[in-house]
Amino acid sequence: MTATAEQGAATGPAPAAEPIIEVSHVTCRFTSRRSETVALEDVSLAVRPGEFVTVAGPSGCGKSTLLKLVAGLVPATEGDVRLYGRPVTGPQREIGFAFQRSALLEWRGVRRNILLQAEMRGMDRRRAEERADRLIELTGLTGFEKALPHELSGGMQQRVALCRALLHEPRVLLMDEPFGALDALTREQMNTEMNRIWRETGTTVVLVTHSVPEAVYLGSRIVVMSPRPGRIVEILEPGLPEHREYGPTLADPRFAAAAARLRDLLGASHAPE
């Protein structure tokens, strides 16, 4: 045996990266005077650095609650949530969060809407401006830096919101159905852009969606949730390459197989396009 072979035998395969997000046996209940709602029940999930995890399930199954638990916006009733190896005990400033609505300030142009994140976080102005310019170029917004929100299409508004969420270079980006209100063609375009941005930034992404094609197209893994109380029914791995173009990917037998399985798990009544 050569020295190199001996070294390889001694060290073995490289260990898998430690999870950047850990959700362990989490139950989340919301209680009022009249009732108690169990949003999530005994949910466990580990997300490793650089993954793009999509979460699909019927309305009201706790998908958005799961994101809020990771972000520290709501507490777990039972179980443990860890981010970057640390317990989540309150709002997490180090993450990025993209919501269903772009929530842009109507009196600010594109660049100033993006830089609002820097003002709120007290970022170095020069660094923030350089980062904003790179993101504007990355998302195809060059030439629209001064455009007001009402002058932009829905897809462009969501790109601005995405830039704002990425401005502080978060290692983790949480996305709560950010493309749900877009028309079908724009949504496809945004899915293609999102795949490219994910590959180019290396950000770990968890995205909630009702769309079967979106879940499969974007996800390196797909977490399938049950109706409320939300539980993880299955985690699918479509096995698609990281670089995905919309048409060829939809024609890939692996895409068709994963989409069919996801529809079976959700049930026809819970699988809108």
For residues 262 and 222, is the Cβ–Cβ distance under 8 A? yes
Which pTM does this prediction carry? 0.87
**CA 139 to CA 14: how far, in whole Å?**
35
Pairing, β 96-98 against β 172-176: parallel
> Could you state, in order of their start, the residue ranges of all structural domains in the chain?
17-95+170-268, 105-169
Q: What is residue 1's predicted lDDT score, i.e. its pLDDT?
A: 43
* Buried-state track 107-127, b at ≥16 Cβ within 10 A, e below 16: ebbbbbbbbebbeeeebeeee
Which residue shows structure tokens 């999102």?
194
Q: What is residue 183's predicted lDDT score, i.e. its pLDDT?
A: 85
Residues of the chain with pLDDT under 70: 1-16, 268-273
**CA 213 to CA 122: how far, in whole Å?**
39
For residues 60 and 247, is the Cβ–Cβ distance under 8 A? no
Q: What is residue 225's predicted lDDT score, i.e. its pLDDT?
A: 95
Express each pLDDT in 191-213 by its tens digit: 998 999 999 999 999 999 999 99
User: How is domain 17-95+170-268 classified at the CATH fold level?
Assistant: Rossmann fold (3.40.50)
Phi, psi of 126, deg, nearest 5 = -65, -45
User: How far is Cα of residue 91 from the mean position of the Cα atoms in its chain?
Assistant: 17
Q: What is residue 16's predicted lDDT score, i.e. its pLDDT?
A: 63
User: Which residues partner with 204 through β-bridges?
Assistant: 172
Q: What is residue 13's predicted lDDT score, i.e. its pLDDT?
A: 42
